[in-house]
Amino acid sequence: MKRQAFAEAVACGVATLGASLIYGQFFASTEYLLPLCIASFGGALIAAIQRRSLAKSTLAACAGFIVLAIYGVFADTVQYGAPSNATATELFWGVVGGWARMLTVGLPVDVRGDLLITPVLIAWIAAFTGTTLATRTHSALAPIGPPLAAFAIALLFVGDRPGTHIIATTVFLAGALSLVLLRANQSALRYGIPVVIVVAALAIGAGLITPLSRGENRFDPRDLHKAPLWIADTLTPLAEIKSQLGEQPPRRLFTVRTDAPIDRVRTSTLNDYDGTLWRSADQFVVAGRQLSDTEGPTVAAHIEIDNLKGPFLPVIGQPATLDLTVDDITKIGFSEDSGVLATTEAAPKGLRYTIVGSINPRGNNPRGDQRLHTATPSATSLPLPNGLPPQLRALAQQLTLGDQTPYAKLLAIETYLRRLPYNIDAQPGHSYGALTRILTATDPADAASYAEQHAAAFAVLARALGFHTRVAVGYRLPANGSVTTNDAHAWAEVAFDGFGWIPFEPTDVTSKPTEPRTQMDSPVAGPPPPNPPLAAPPAEGPKLAPSGEPGSGWGEVLRTTAVVAVSFVSFLALLTGLIVAEKARRRWRRRRARNLADRVLGAWDEATDRLIERGATFAVSTTFVEAAERVTGLAALAPLATAAVFAPDHVTNDDVRQAWQLEKQLRGELSPRLSPRSLRARLSPRPLLAGWRDSRATRRNLRQLGVS
């Protein structure tokens, strides 16, 4: 590898790495850095090493990316050092739909393969394409285009996350400006490095003192997917419980007056779990008076909002009717699937309404209505995402090993979770990793948790057994009806045929959130049971559809990806057709020019176009003789072109025929047979760009000479 090519590859890799550093606002840890660093420099070095053959370089780049994806992104699926079927599945669906997955998770997120594969792919393509342009073109600016595109794409994925990207911008500018300097004048690199540093510093300083770096009004592609009255929270409400419980003094949120005793109000339900966060995918319609049909006893609640932030509003049970005291009802939405009430107002202070809902058959009795012991759970259970730790599945099955009815199994899980040490100061989070740490810990300090983890753990363990579960977020209702942040709570709900969603309380609600509860404080008789032995997990049940396959929620992603791919291929086909058509049009016009001299010059232009397609360059000031000295194939054509310029009246039809015959001969020598190289030449837009560039240079030179 030549020193020039190596230096350009390193500069392109640095620029791509700068673009990749933006994902620090997307991921919650720095584990993403190593794969993206390898992708940034690996793609660049492969393009520099294999610069003589584009086909071999592309194949080597594809192979290198696959190796990086297997052992750097999806290493947890590798078995005995070799890729498995799970590796192939995760890699395929990650490449196809990873971009959509990135737009559906709350930020920041844990580093996972299905979220990391898209940034790695973008970095690899940007580094490879940028270095390929650097080794195969003479443009000083073209090679920074791919890293710049990667920079813009990373900003789109990060969206409106607050914060600046000073380090990423610094690294990107250093690599991009160094690459431009190398391309323009390598000998000036020694003196140009200080210039690069000064320009990068000035650019960053200007960005910091202007509104560009602020988080206000940033574009977020997630906003483009909103349906009418589709209200989504940027952060799952489950993750906000700890911050609310920690507010001192507690903030008053709303007041509730009911005509019958109830112990809680719900604000949101979360039924979509991706292994990291429980989220809601509700779509809302304008709420009318009649919300849904309900059976059984109902309770009316009169609610007045004080300092509760939107979008979710308090409801009780399964809402049936709603009476609003506001005129603009279009700002209130209702999801019949989940029974969630929401508003488009960010701060609905002063909003008052009366809501009537059916109450659950458990009431205040932990054992619940006797009918629940023989009830049938809903068969429409949602699958858990790929990656469920075998310890959690084993724990769910061993906790319910001796129970005969579905309801008894759920009570067993509820009882076990209520015995866990309660501590509001425990680490937040309810990902697979967090739940595994809590539920398999041998040290009580590691098992300490609170309502967020308890509700999520119940929903995951029950769903692992096939129950249709969801997480409910809301507030415990004090006796005076005045709800504050100190009442924030979460629990789990399970769907039963004929009964709807039945709440389960996996947290000991008798403990105050501000007072950690030890094992001795457990309301359940007896010491907390040790975690079941997990050395030999039970046999696996029926396999769930892996995330990414149609039927597991990814069908729409696959269709969207197919539309994008078809659109991209169609665009390339249209662009290629336009290039070929424009070349044919220019050739037709040159052969049928008005006078004989222009036809001879047209043959010269066609000959030079064929050379430009293969990488040759001709300055505007290059004469016909100088061009013929560089390319022997133009030697016989140069005198005819010179005569056409300086003696156009003496050009004959024989000269025209000879000129076009010489052009045909040169074309045959350049492409004796159809090959990938000749096909690339026919599709190359270089002659069109060179003509535009020469015309612009000619106009600029004429202006400098004072010729209008």
| 3-class DSSP state of 383 | coil
What residues contact 257, with CB distance under 8 A and at least 6 apart? 301, 302, 481
Identify the DSSP state of 363.
Answer: T
Q: Which ranges in 221-351 belong to alpha helices (H)? A: 241-245
Give the C-alpha distances (Å, rounded to integers) separating 114 from 77, 120, 161, 437, 575. Answer: 12, 11, 21, 22, 32
In sequence order, the β-bridge partners of residue 257 are 302
Helix (H, G, I), strand (E, B) or coil at 447: helix
Residue 540 burial (10 A CB sphere; 0-12, 13-18, 19+): exposed
> How far is it, in rounded angstroms, from Cα 9 to Cα 707?
43
Please say whether the beta carbons of 318 and 292 come within 8 A: yes
> Three-state SS for 367?
coil
Give CA separation, 17 vs 23, 40, 165, 685, in Å.
10, 6, 13, 30
Cα–Cα distance measured from residue 450 to residue 514, given in angstroms and rounded to the nearest whole number? 11
The strand ranges marked E within 431-570 are 469-476, 482-484, 488-496, 500-504
Place of tokens 């039809």: 653
Instruction: Quote the CA–CA distance of 547 and 104 in Å, as a whole number.
Output: 14
- Please write the tens of the pLDDT for every residue from 179-218: 887 877 655 555 566 666 776 677 667 666 665 555 556 6
pLDDT of residue 541: 36
Residue 353 and residue 87: Cα distance in Å, rounded? Answer: 52
**Given this model, what pLDDT does residue 555 score?**
55
Sequence ranges of the domains in the chain: 3-222, 245-364, 576-704
Whole-prediction pTM: 0.46
Judged on CB neighbours under 10 Å (0-12, 13-18, 19+), 259 is: exposed
Whether a cis peptide bond, with omega within 30° of 0, leads into 389 is no
- pLDDT beneath 50, residues of the chain: 106, 226-229, 232-234, 512-554
> What is the Cα 643 distance to its own chain's centre?
62
Chain centroid offset of residue 540 CA = 32
Phi-psi sector, 363: left (phi>0), alpha (psi -120 to 50), beta: left
SS (H, E, C) 537-558: CCCCCCCCCCCCCCCCCCHHHH
CA 131, CA 147: separation in Å to the nearest integer?
10
- Written as six digits, the tokens of 668 are 């045959």
Angle made by CA atoms 539, 542, 545, in degrees to the nearest 5: 130
Q: Which of 300, 302, 314, 315 is nearest to 348 (CA)?
A: 314
